[in-house]
Amino acid sequence: MMKRHRNIAALLSVALQGLGQLYNRQWLKGIIFLCVHAFGLYYLVPRLGNAIWGLVTLGETTQKFVRVGKGTQLIKGDHSIFLMLEGIITILVLLVFLLIYALNVYDAYQNGKKRDEGKGVPKFADSWNHATVKHFPYFMLFIPVIGVLFFTIMPILFSIMLAFTNYSAPNNIPPANLVDWVGFQSFIDLLQMKSWSKTFYGLLFWTIIWAVLATVTCYFGGILVALLVESKGIRFKKLWRTIFIIPYAIPQLISLLVMRNLFNAKFGPINQYFAYFGLDGLPWLTDPFWAKVTLIVVNMWIGIPVSMLLAMGVLTAIPRDLYEAAEVDGATSFQKFKIITMPYLLFATAPILITQFAGNINNFNVIYLMTGGGPPKGEYQFAGSTDLLVTWLFNLTLVNNKYNMSAAIGILIFIIIASISIFSFRRTKSFKEEDMLS
């Protein structure tokens, strides 16, 4: 008998949301749960079966024209992509509904337990204050979580599912044609079929080389500039800081378009200066090797100011007494840099270094605005000599409509970046020796 109220309230809430609250004499809360239950059933009952059918089959009939008398009539068919989207959205709504259902049962059980213990059941105002005061962070995070669920997770799930279909032009574009599930065939073609694999492995190799060079040059270039600006005896430090921050302050789009014109092989000012001194110009953007060199240099121009600002912040936080103690021990400038400065810089900026490396793998702007992926390379499939995996994905998606292959490439890019980032974060001392700078 001691558990009578909690069990009855829980069972009633399982049968119908809000009944347990009404049993516990929480009238307003019970009505709210009943309204949620009614809305959930109103949305899910007519859609859930069709959503599961659509996700499983991706449609069964195609759009076609039939002759009616002397004319023709369009008979609409199933749209595989719409069915997939509707299925994903309906399943996510179902998950939210089930979560609220579980909270409803838990709430009814806990309040029934209070009745069994002879305690009073909280009124709606008390429950509201409990949710908005004691659990205020959860209350405020609920709406952003719903937004992330439908505007971030849902598109990611859609992209992942596309990788396991044959959705691509020209033969599998709905509603004229249906899209079918093909399992891992897109990944197999990407990694084994010669026309695709040669492009994938070639761009993967260049993407890793690019990410390493772009990260290392910007990181150590920024540290070098910061050390020079902050060194003793240098005058007009504010002026030097301002000059080196200008490339960062100018919008990247403008900087890259200006650089593209500067390095133009025919009418660019750089080659014109070479000609003025009797030297031949270089094919900065039209030769595969020089195009890659140009991209690294331009990326340094854009990226060094960021690393410089980070390094300056860390340099001002290093205790001066460490350098004074090193001077007393007779340490040289290089020894002080090696033993004191660089360890502190690496400790404080290692997470940023990892994120910069991951960002350079997906550095779309520099490649697209400077070279557009060119110069062309005939043995590559829909890609050029300087394309990264991310720019190749862009070309496959928006230019060539190879949605299944681009989705597969996106998944592989995510796996590569996630693996490298997790491995690097786990090994960096920034998360193991948290008191180093204290």
Share of the chain above pLDDT 70, in %: 94
Query: Coil, strand, or helix at residue 241?
Result: helix
The answer to whether the CB of 199 falls within 8 A of the CB of 383 is yes
Helix count and strand count (H, E) for the chain: 19, 2
pLDDT for the residue 350:
85
Tokens (6 digits) for 155? 């598109």
CATH code assigned at 221: 1.10.3720.10
230 assigned to some structural domain: yes
Q: Which of 183, 198, 231 is the last residue of a domain?
A: 183
pLDDT for the residue 128:
81
Domain ranges, residue 211: 186-431
Same domain, 259 and 117: no
Kindly tell me the burial class for residue 195, based on how many C-beta atoms sit within 10 Å of its own C-beta (0-12, 13-18, 19 or more): exposed
Query: Coil, strand, or helix at residue 390?
Result: helix
Scanning the structure block, which residue is given the tokens 């959705």? 167
First to last CA, the chain: 58
pLDDT for the residue 317:
85
In terms of DSSP bridges, do strands 71-75 and 64-68 run parallel, antiparallel, or are they unpaired?
antiparallel
436 assigned to some structural domain: no
Least Cα distance to 151 among 100, 94, 91, 89 occurs for 89
- pLDDT tens-digit map of 158-192: 999 999 999 998 888 888 889 999 999 999 999 99
Scanning the structure block, which residue is given the tokens 């995510």? 414
- pLDDT tens-digit map of 368-422: 999 999 999 989 999 999 999 999 999 999 999 999 999 999 999 999 999 988 8
Instruction: Check the CA dihedral 99-101-107-110 and report its sign.
Output: negative
438 assigned to some structural domain: no
Rounded Cα distance, 108 and 5, in Å: 9
- pLDDT tens-digit map of 334-378: 888 888 988 888 888 888 888 899 999 999 999 999 999 999 998
Question: Per DSSP, what are the bridge partners of residue 72?
Answer: 67
352 assigned to some structural domain: yes
Q: Which of 148, 183, 218 is the last residue of a domain?
A: 183
354 assigned to some structural domain: yes
Rounded Cα distance, 162 and 139, in Å: 34
238 assigned to some structural domain: yes
For the chain, give the number of residues.
438
Q: Average of pLDDT values for 89-117?
A: 93
What's the number of domains the chain is made of? 2
Is the per-residue pLDDT at 64 higher than 80? no
Report cis status (omega within 30 of 0) of the bond before 375. yes
Same domain, 166 and 193: no
- pLDDT tens-digit map of 10-39: 999 999 999 999 999 899 999 999 999 999
97 assigned to some structural domain: yes
Q: In angstroms, how far apart are the furthest CA atoms of the chain?
A: 103
Q: Average of pLDDT values for 272-293?
A: 92
Tokens (6 digits) for 436? 């180093």
Same domain, 375 and 320: yes
Question: Per DSSP, what are the bridge partners of residue 376?
Answer: 384
Rounded Cα distance, 215 and 233, in Å: 30
Radius of gyration for the chain, computed over Cα atoms and rounded to the nearest angstrom:
31
Same domain, 179 and 219: no
Q: Provide the whole-model pTM.
A: 0.86
68 to 73, 76, 134, 204, 437: CA distances (angstroms): 6, 15, 68, 54, 81
Same domain, 155 and 229: no
Q: Which of 149, 164, 183 is the last residue of a domain?
A: 183
Same domain, 38 and 174: yes
Same domain, 27 and 53: yes
Same domain, 77 and 120: yes
Same domain, 106 and 223: no
Same domain, 152 and 301: no
Same domain, 257 and 404: yes
Same domain, 85 and 125: yes
Question: Per DSSP, what are the bridge partners of residue 165?
Answer: 181
Q: Mean pLDDT of all residues in the chain?
A: 89
437 assigned to some structural domain: no
